[in-house]
Amino acid sequence: MNSYLEIHPEVQQALAEGKPVVALESTIIAHGMPYPQNVQTALEVEAVVREAGAIPATIAILNGKCCVGLAKQQIEHLGQAKNVWKVSLVDMPYVISQRLDGATTVATTMRLAAMAGVRVFVTGGTGGVHRGAETTMDISADLTEMGKTSVAVVSAGVKSILDIGLTLEYLETQGIPVVTFGQDAFPSFYSRQSGFASPLRLDSAQEIARLLRAKWELGLDGAVLIANPIPEKFEVPAPEMEWYITQALHAAAQQHIKGKAVTPFLLKYIAEHSHGESLDANIALIKHNARLGAELAVAYTQTGY
């Protein structure tokens, strides 16, 4: 194992001392946002984690090494290089054995975080069950990974490029508690609402930390999905987003986009066509999630069940 993993010394030390660490994904850097906002946001997110008292560990595969904790120039490289793979679990053996560079999805970041001993992970949005999955069977490996790997995943809910209702059903089947922070409605990334109630609600990081302890100490392996609603002032009206999403789905169908290309295609289409508004919202919510994730990591080190 150790010859595959490269844990940054600062992260290694924090873990050895039982200090709070927050894992961060890198697909958002390489494939989720344009340069230079991607690099700037990744560095700001790390700063938010530090301000809240935890150590950030951005995770990516560089030259075939699974890096847990990146230096600034490595983040810069991921944000600019053109040949960075989007690495879900299925891609890991190839990218590692070919000594390539890869940005890690939620599924892969979770797995590497767990291997390193990191229990809290912050992202923007996870993958899920795609609209039309009853015929395409397009269900993200993020969901099956959450079913088995014991890491808390802080997100802004599920983006409505997905079928939110089916995604909630799948999460339930996989035994993944879905907890919305501070409200009853399950949020949909750009919006605080989704039309679905959240299965669970908790109002403090301490209560979420206790839920994590109870789950994992019972031997119930797997993730807890924590949905943190976007701050009101950054919300994008749902009808406006739905219009862009409908256009994006139509373009994807026309261009026969399939497999792992679907999600990046939809995200890129929406980002390019909705101009600055969705990007500003994306940046705001990931920083908002980073704060909650860091508070949760701190609470987890201090709280029993």
Please confirm, yes or no, whether 82 is among the known catalytic residues.
no
Please confirm, yes or no, whether 172 is among the known catalytic residues.
no
Residue closest to Mn ion (Cβ): 138
Q: Quick one: 107 or 178, whose CB is closer to Mn ion?
A: 107
Q: Contacts with ligand PSU in 173-202 (CB under 6 A)?
A: 189
Q: Quick one: 127 or 301, whose CB is closer to ligand PSU?
A: 127
The answer to the question of residue 25 lying near Mn ion (CB under 5 A) is no
CB of 138 to Mn ion, least distance (A): 4
Q: Distance between CA atoms of 232 and 190, rounded to whole angstroms?
A: 10
Select the residue interacting with ligand PSU from 88, 160, 194, 274 (CB under 6 A). Answer: 88
Query: Are the beta carbons of 118 and 23 closer than 8 angstroms?
Result: yes
Q: Quick one: 14 or 271, whose CB is closer to ligand PSU?
A: 271
Burial (CB < 10 A; 0-12, 13-18, 19+), residue 67, is buried
**How many residues belong to the site for ligand PSU (CB under 6 A)?**
19
Catalytic residue among 46, 76, 159, 215, which? 159
219-243 b/e with 16+ CB inside 10 Å = b? eeebbbbbbbbbeeebbbebeebee
Q: Quick one: 138 or 295, whose CB is closer to Mn ion?
A: 138
The answer to the question of residue 46 lying near Mn ion (CB under 5 A) is no
Pairing of strands 55-62, 65-68: antiparallel
* Helix (H/G/I), strand (E/B), else coil: 138: coil
The answer to the question of residue 25 lying near ligand PSU (CB under 6 A) is yes
Residue 179 identity (one-letter amino acid): V
85-94 b/e with 16+ CB inside 10 Å = b? bbbbbebbee
Q: Distance between CA atoms of 104 and 109, rounded to whole angstroms?
A: 5
Q: Distance between CA atoms of 216 and 162, rounded to whole angstroms?
A: 29
Q: Contacts with ligand PSU in 91-120 (CB under 6 A)?
A: 105-106
Using the rule CB under 5 A, give the single segment among 46-54, 132-140, 277-285, 297-305 that binds Mn ion. Answer: 132-140
Give the catalytic positions in this structure.
Answer: 25, 159
Binding site for ligand PSU (CB under 6 A): 25, 27-28, 32, 88, 105-106, 124-127, 140-142, 159, 189, 260, 263, 267
